[in-house]
Amino acid sequence: MTYDKPVPTPSPLTKPFYDGLKEGKLMLPRCQDCNRVHWYPRYICPFCHSINIAWIQGSGEGRIHTFAVQHRASGGWAKEVPFVTAFIDLNEGDRMATVLRGIDPAVPSAINIGSKVRVEFEKAAQDIYIPFWRVVGD
Amino acid sequence: MGLSKSAAIVGAAESNEIGYPEVPKTSLELHIEAIKNVSIQTGIPISAIDGIFSAGMSSEIAEHLGIHPKYIDTTSVGGCSFEIHVHHALLAIFAGVIDVALVTHGQNGWSARRIGHGGGGGYGGAGITSPSVQMTIPYGFSGAPSHYSHVMVRHNHLYGSTPEDFANVAVVTRDWATLNPRAVMFSEETHEFGGKITTETVNNAPMISWPLTMLHCCLVTDHGGAVLIARPEIAKSLNTKPVWIAGAGENMSHSNMLEMGDFAATSAFASSKTAYEMAGLGPADMELALLYDSFTITPALTAEMVGLAPRGEGHLLWKEGHAAKGGRLPINTNGGGLSFNHSGMYGMQLLIEAYRQLSGTAEDGVNGIAGKQTNAATCIVNGTGGSLSTTGTLILVADD
């Protein structure tokens, strides 16, 4: 089945992230001066304003910060409603957006903020993979 | 003389039609109607305007009017742009650069469905090539409701509040709308979901982005509005009553919700602090609050941020009836973005209602519509733009 949802266009700034996804790695930008990981990728560290930023391999683990159940959507997502969007607190720090896997959108009361999630990757186009997060524990 | 009260709002008017016009309108048309109306109301000729402030359309509007302003501001940061314009106009007048500022709004949120947007500004967010957009676009977020729902869920988690608690915001705001004949939700005649509602109506409305049902969400309408701001000498020479800008502040916490650090807080804490300090007033001095209500969570969270309620308890202002007619702190007396009018950016509607209530013109009627709901002499106005991103706060006071 062809992937019919929005596919991001990598830029030179974000290419290392997409290169990592192809190899099954979640690469994250980390400032070499203050050592903090930030998300999304930037030209400058938003914490200390250093421009010495390097990519590290993330653990692919985190926890749900908050979530919502989408009942309206457009394009390819319209066929999948309801689905659960969420913001994930990465173990390395900072936060990622996602659509949660491994939950029942019809029972939002069973989805818990703070639950453990693990990343997985879905092929969206030639050379483009997208990270999604699956609930794996409490 | 200090910055506080160095300028006043001297008039506020709307376009001839708002809401759902029978003949579709352009954003420019809505702007121009409101500008003409506020010029007539104040007696200030359009040619006397020397500063223009709009969300993204200032050069087009100035050209259309045939004026040559010496201060041009087209700040477009979502619905709070207009509160921020007032802040900037205050600074420009205080600095002596201009005498008369026009803050103008025209947005055909409703008509655009038939004739296209044709301007009207909007949220100056990041474009498709930006890294923040790359990292959110794959995930099916669909407009403002799909973002704000995450904030209510976080608030529920942190404070034990429930979506039903926030339904009270919709109910009380609707009660206000039933007193405003220009409100889209004025009655069952004006809208199929119009007239009085209960929390049950809100809970049972179609689900948009859980936990937000349709009645937790604002309208999508047309609206044009304009206010004129002038230095004290001019303000005192007019037939309209001035409403003084005692305090103003703006701030932002993020642009993309991906960067919202605390999902149960907004930059209204910072913008209101600036405004209160300038005014020499505090939350306890406010007799009326006009708090941007794009969704039920928005004014409730804002009330916490601007000090009108303790953290986690903003919704209680509505649930316990304080925000309602006869309550100790009336909030959103026009019926709000939830039930009066919301064109996509709602900050101008806040300014117009603040002027109406504080100047006494609501008694006589602006555009022929009466609706004086309070005897308030002080009002806090807070606009929120983007995804709870940017805020502008004003402390307005009535003339002595």
pLDDT the model gives residue B128: 73
Q: Which of A71, A74, A84 to mutate to test the interface with B (most CBs of B within 10 A)?
A: A71
- Cβ of A66 and B150 within 8 Å? yes
Instruction: Count how many domains chain A has.
Output: 1
Domain annotation covers residue A22: yes
On the question of pLDDT at B368 being above 70, the answer is no
Full pLDDT tens readout for chain A, 138 residues: 689 999 998 999 999 999 999 999 999 999 999 999 999 999 999 999 999 999 999 999 999 999 999 999 999 999 999 999 999 999 999 999 999 999 999 999 999 999 999 999 999 999 999 999 999 998
Query: What does the pLDDT average to over B131-158?
Result: 96
- Rg (C-alpha) for chain B, rounded Å, is 19
- Cβ of B151 and A66 within 8 Å? yes
pLDDT the model gives residue B369: 62
On the question of pLDDT at B123 being above 60, the answer is no
- What dihedral do alpha carbons A123, A125, A130, A132 form, nearest 10°? -50
Question: 3-class SS at A57?
Answer: strand
List the single residue in A6, A41, A68 with the smallest CB-CB distance to B150: A68
ipTM value of the model?
Answer: 0.95
Residue-range domain boundaries for chain B: 8-122+219-398
Cis-peptide into B69, omega within 30 deg: no
Task: Answer for the pair B123, B383: CB distance below 8 angstroms, yes or no.
Answer: no
Task: Say how far apart CA B149 and CA A68 lie, in whole Å.
Answer: 6
> What share of chain B in percent tops pLDDT 90?
91
- Cβ of A71 and B211 within 8 Å? no
Domain annotation covers residue A3: no
On the question of pLDDT at B232 being above 60, the answer is yes
Please choose, from the candidates B67, B75, B79, B93, the residue with its C-alpha nearest in 3D space to the C-alpha of residue B8. B93
pLDDT the model gives residue B125: 61
List the single residue in B129, B145, B149 with the smallest CB-CB distance to A9: B129
Fold of the domain spanning B8-122+219-398: Peroxisomal Thiolase; Chain A, domain 1 (3.40.47)
pLDDT the model gives residue B371: 84
Task: Answer for the pair A129, A18: CB distance below 8 angstroms, yes or no.
Answer: yes
Please choose, from the candidates B380, B139, B143, the residue with its C-alpha nearest in 3D space to the C-alpha of residue B271. B380
- Rg (C-alpha) for chain A, rounded Å, is 16
Q: How confident is the model at residue B372 (pLDDT cuts 50, 70, 90)?
A: confident
Domain annotation covers residue A1: no
pLDDT the model gives residue A1: 65
Task: Say how far apart CA A62 and CA A131 lie, in whole Å.
Answer: 13
Q: How confident is the model at residue B1 (pLDDT cuts 50, 70, 90)?
A: low
* Residue pLDDT, tens place only, B49-93: 999 999 999 999 999 999 999 999 999 999 999 999 999 999 999
Domain annotation covers residue A4: no
Task: Say how far apart CA B290 and CA B52 lie, in whole Å.
Answer: 24
pLDDT the model gives residue B117: 65
Domain annotation covers residue A5: no
Taking the CA of residue A109 and the nearest CA in chain B, the distance in Å comes to: 11
Please choose, from the candidates B80, B185, B149, the residue with its C-alpha nearest in 3D space to the C-alpha of residue B297. B149
Please choose, from the candidates A113, A108, A110, A116, the residue with its C-alpha nearest in 3D space to the C-alpha of residue A133. A116
Determine the residue type at B10.
V
- Cβ of B207 and A71 within 8 Å? yes
Q: Which of A14, A21, A40 to mutate to test the interface with B (most CBs of B within 10 A)?
A: A40
